[in-house]
Amino acid sequence: MCGELRAVNAGQQVVLMGWVNRRRDHGNLIFLDLRDRSGIAQIVLDKELTPEGHAKGEHVRPEFVVAAVGKVRLRAPDAINPKMETGEIEIEATELRVLNDARLAPFSPAEEAIQNEEVRLKYRYLDLRRTEMQRNFRLRHQITLAIRESLSKQGFLEIETPILTKSTPEGARDFLVPSRVHPGEFYALPQSPQIFKQILMISGFDRYFQIARCFRDEDLRADRQLEFTQVDLEMSFPRQEMVFAVVEQFMKAAFASAGIELPIPFPRISYDESMRRYGSDKPDLRLPGLTDVHSAFTGDALATMQIDPALPIVALRIPKVGELSRKEREENHPLFDQKKGAKFVDDFKRLAKSFPEAAAKVRELTRADEADFVIVVAGDPAHSIKASDTKFPGRLSEREINVYAAAGNFRAELAKKYAERHGAFRITDQVVQDAQAWRSPQPLIDGCYAFHPMWLTDFPMFEYDLAQAKWVPAHHPFTAPIEADMANLVTDPASVRANCYDLAMNGLELGSGSIRIHRKDVQQVIFRALGISDDEARARFGFFLDALEYGTPPHGGIALGLDRIVMLLAGAANLREVITFPKTAKAIDLMAEAPTAVTGEQLKELHIRVALKS
RNA sequence: GGGGACGUAGCUCAGUUUGGUUAGAGCGCUGCCCUGUCACGGCAGAGGUCGCGGGUUCGAGCCCCGUCGUCCCCGCCA
């Protein structure tokens, strides 16, 4: 293997096979950099030593596939290349065989990713040859392996569930597959193995897991593809803490496989607290959170500034951004979500002029340095939004959540924009760039962790739908309420918390799970509370309701997005970097050119007629 | 469904502000030269429907309208 040869291999006879990364022709001496997945080695073709090999070498071009026969030799001291892992040696070729030629590639796999993602995806096989992509998928393999090993050690069995199945209750649009045998009927691809894994608990498999492909026919995002992979698990007789412990173990193992030490247990935070402190249900803890600065403003000041005193007033702080010009600030304004009924103050000079005490207090409360950029976000009384401002005791109102979310989104956007300046995301970048580091078992920087996992708990069971004027489920219908809140299900739905939990890390939702309902009577109450009729429940998952009646153990579990975990560890900003053949934002595979129309013959066999809108 | 950014040589980009002769650069590519390079070097050369369609104009890469594609976001989706 090209990249594995070292000084100790000097003198060995070898046959190296791989792709020509680069060719340097010095006339009677030709250097070939030969690349395979292990790395690059330099082949020397000397006209005196191998006239034939040298002659072939003259016609070799980038990405030709060749075999070089020869001896490993130490380079002369002044010819050592310290930038190459194999820089101390080279192959003195006695023979060169051209195994295959190659057309001129639209871009070179020897170089960094090109900007044009269309071309990258169309020629994905060339893109995947790049060192960075090879590294990403090796990383993905190692992470997957570590998770399998950890879960197996913890007593989980890996069990497969169907891909051709029935619509599951996840709420997204299904991908449908027509049945040839049953005209007019369709299978659905699983949005998750949810019902099957719960049935596996009923079947007595105790602890199940699966690295499961899931499918959701919704619009794509940087962190969302049509098909994605989940680490899906379920266990019998659990409590939240037991699920957390299992996940923490395998996450620790997964990160260790990438050379990152992840301290456990992970911190926990309630949903309400997360909204207050980060304006998000997937907080990024690499930067300071939001600060409640209501106390900095007098009633008069709020009236003058036209800020709603009944709503939260929070400050966000992005460190080390420095002072921004008016133009720079204005360029940031589109990053603020106008639709949340919130407004912001980012001109601190003006604020200090009108309300010097308030401005000083805000900077004091946020512990802002001179160079830190601070923005105050507050409710806009003038703004009419479609949101309920009904305040249920012990629970954030929708308008409050909107103000926090506006601040949280703004914080995340600005953090992304000024990543260079605050440097809080840098350690992740370093993981990417340092090709050695990812293999190292040592943490990259002692005591400084680039990855901040966080459990979120105590989600509300229901959300109030203003349009329908009723409480609707915030989760899938098998999520159990927290035991203590069970009594309030009908009388006070607002106060009921769900026995479910999310795992977030660095501003991404990594996974979501819950303790499930295992009793039929509770399930019926929930269905009723969710406005799902008996008939509807029976039609959608009657088989599951039947199964529930045959001795269902208490059970619960979670599913974590494997692609997202790999993305974080690869330091990638997009899922496409860790998925071999991803789809574009318009849901197209540019290489395979899918989807496509199919023949009339195929449609006929499937009893399908296509009716396109004109 | 909506908002934003982008689209000029194989790739990365300049040129668009203020319409004006034959659209440029770097890398890559082709040919020749070169025995110690490793982003090799030197000389010469090829390569463009300026995404596509229409319009305004004496004249459009540049202005207007439409359309397509890629990316990011909202909606949607845990």
Cα–chain-centroid distance for residue A227? Answer: 13
A226 CA to B67 C1', in Å? 27
Q: Residue A335, CA: closest nucleotide via C1'?
A: B73
User: What pLDDT, on a 0 to 100 scale, did the predictor assign at position A434?
Assistant: 43
Measure A358 CA to B32 C1' (Å): 75
pLDDT at A359 over 50: yes
| Whether the predicted pLDDT of A420 surpasses 80 | no
Positions of strand B less than 7 angstroms from a protein CB: 1, 4, 10-13, 28-30, 33-41, 69-78
Burial group, residue A234, by CB count within 10 angstroms (0-12, 13-18, 19+): buried
Q: What is the dihedral of CA A245, A247, A250, A255, to 10 degrees?
A: -110
**For residues A526-545, average pLDDT:** 82
Buried b (16+ CB within 10 A) or exposed e, A553-579: ebbbbbbbbbbbbbbbbbbbeebbbbb
pLDDT of residue A429: 46
Higher pLDDT, A420 or A452: A452
Backbone φ, ψ for residue A272 (5° rounding): -60, -45
Q: What is the pLDDT of residue A388?
A: 64
A594 CA → B30 C1’, Å: 36
- pLDDT > 50? residue A440: no
The whole-number pLDDT of residue A385 equals 60
Task: In whole angstroms, give the CA distance from residue A147 to residue A83.
Answer: 34
A210 contacts A156 by C-beta, under 8 angstroms: no
- Region of poorest pLDDT, from A37-46, A178-187, A358-367, A466-475: A466-475
CB burial readout A91-117, b (16+ within 10 A) else e:
bbbbebeeeeeeeeeebbbbeeeeeeb
Q: What is the pLDDT of residue A487?
A: 85
Specify the range with the lowest mean pLDDT, choosing from A116-125, A206-215, A269-278, A537-546.
A537-546
Residue A338 has pLDDT above 90, yes or no: no
Q: What CA–CA distance (Å, rounded) separates A362 from A378?
A: 13
The amino acid present at A576, given as its one-letter code, is: R
Question: In the β-sheet with A157-158, what is the strand arrangement from edge to edge?
Answer: A157-158, A207-215, A227-236, A555-561, A508-515, A500-505, A453-457, A268-270
Query: Which nucleotide has its C1' atom closest to residue A117's CA?
Result: B70
- CA distance linking residue A551 with residue A545, whole number of Å: 12
pLDDT digits (tens, 9 = 90+) for A446-459: 334 588 899 999 99
3-state secondary structure of A509: strand
Q: pLDDT confidence of A32, banded at 50, 70, 90? A: very high
In the three-class reduction of DSSP (H, G, I as helix; E, B as strand; rest coil), residue A129 is classed as coil
Asked whether the predicted pLDDT for residue A439 surpasses 50, the reply is no
A222: left (phi over 0), alpha (psi -120 to 50) or beta: alpha
pTM (2 d.p.): 0.93
Q: A334 CA, B4 C1': separation in Å?
A: 9
Nucleotide in closest CA–C1' contact with A172: B77
Concatenated DSSP letters of A15-37: EEEEEEEEEEE-SSEEEEEEEET
Instruction: Please tell me which residue lies nearest to nucleotide B38, judged from CA to C1'.
Output: A81
Nucleotide in closest CA–C1' contact with A47 = B35
Q: Could you tell me where the beta strands, DSSP code E, fall in A447-568?
A: 453-457, 462-465, 470-473, 500-505, 508-515, 555-561
A321 band by pLDDT with thresholds 50, 70 and 90? confident
**Looking at residue A533, what is its pLDDT?**
83
Instruction: State pLDDT tens for residues A186-239.
Output: 999 999 999 999 999 999 999 999 999 999 999 999 999 999 999 999 999 999
- Per-residue pLDDT at A539: 83
C1' (B60) to CA (A97) span, angstroms: 54
ipTM of the complex: 0.94
Strands (E), A126-219: 157-158, 176-178, 186-188, 207-215
| Percent of residues, chain A, with pLDDT higher than 70 | 93
Please name the nucleotide lying closest to A92, CA to C1'.
B36
Percent of chain A with pLDDT over 90: 68
d(CA A292, CA A42): 60
Q: Going along A147-190, which residue ranges are E strands?
A: 157-158, 176-178, 186-188
3-state SS, residue A500: strand
Which of A606, A536, A609, A595 is CA-nearest to residue A185? A606
Q: Which of A126, A115, A214 is nearest to A173 (CA)?
A: A214
Which string of DSSP letters, residue by residue, matches A517-545?
A: P--HHHHHHHHHHTT--HHHHHHHHHHHH
| Distance between CA atoms of residues A97 and A32, nearest Å | 13
Distance measured from the CA of protein residue A374 to the C1' of nucleotide B25, in angstroms? 42
How does the average pLDDT of chain A come out, rounded?
89
First to last CA, chain A: 57
Is the confidence at residue A564, as pLDDT, over 80? Answer: yes
